Amino acid sequence: MSEFKTIDARNTFCPGPLMELITYMKQAEVGDMLELLSTDSGTASDVPEWIDKVGHEMISSEKIDDVWHLKVRKLK
């Protein structure tokens, strides 16, 4: 069983993948792990930049069949 809550932000332009991730981060508890799915190539750099700046943890980032899978952990 996956410990990650999946956020399906594929094929979306507004509010967009990072805004979706921020929404779910606000709802999550410290320690929760989220997996963001995105077809927007900009997500691969946008999400790590925000995660780094705000102080959460970037677990992994990989592209599988044209979909970015970005796994993060809420730290605060």
Partner 1 sequence: MRILVVGGGCGGTILANNLARRLAGEIRSRKVRLTMLSASDKHMYQPGLLYVAFGQMMPDELYRDQQSLLEPSIEFHVDPVEAFHLDQNRVTTKSGRSHEYDVLVIATGSRIVPEEVPGLVEGSETFYSEAAAVKMFKRLREFEGGKVAIVVGVPHKCPIAPVEVTFSLHDYFKTRGIRDKVHIKYHYPIGRIHTIENVAKWAKPEFDRIGVEYETLFNVREVDVENQVVKSEEGTETEYDLLISIPPHRGMPVIERDQLGDGGWIPTDRYKLTMEGHDNVYVLGDTTNLPVSKTGSAAHFEAEVVAENISSIIKIGTPVRDYDGKVYCFIEAGHDRATYAMFNYENPPDLKAPNKSMHWFKMSYNKMYWTSVRGLL
Query: Which residues lie near partner 1 (CB under 8 A)?
Result: 8-9, 11-20, 22-23, 26-27, 42, 46, 49-50, 53-55
Q: State the nearest-atom distance from the C-beta of 67 to partner 1, in Å.
A: 14
Residue among 41 and 62 whose Cβ is closer to partner 1:
41
Of residues 1, 14, 30, 64, which has the active-site annotation? 14
Q: Is 29 a catalytic residue?
A: no
DSSP characters over 2-51 = --EEEEEETT--SS-HHHHHHHHHHHSPTT-EEEEEE--TTHHHHHHHHH
Q: Which letter does DSSP use for residue 56 in this model?
A: -
Return the active site residues.
Answer: 14
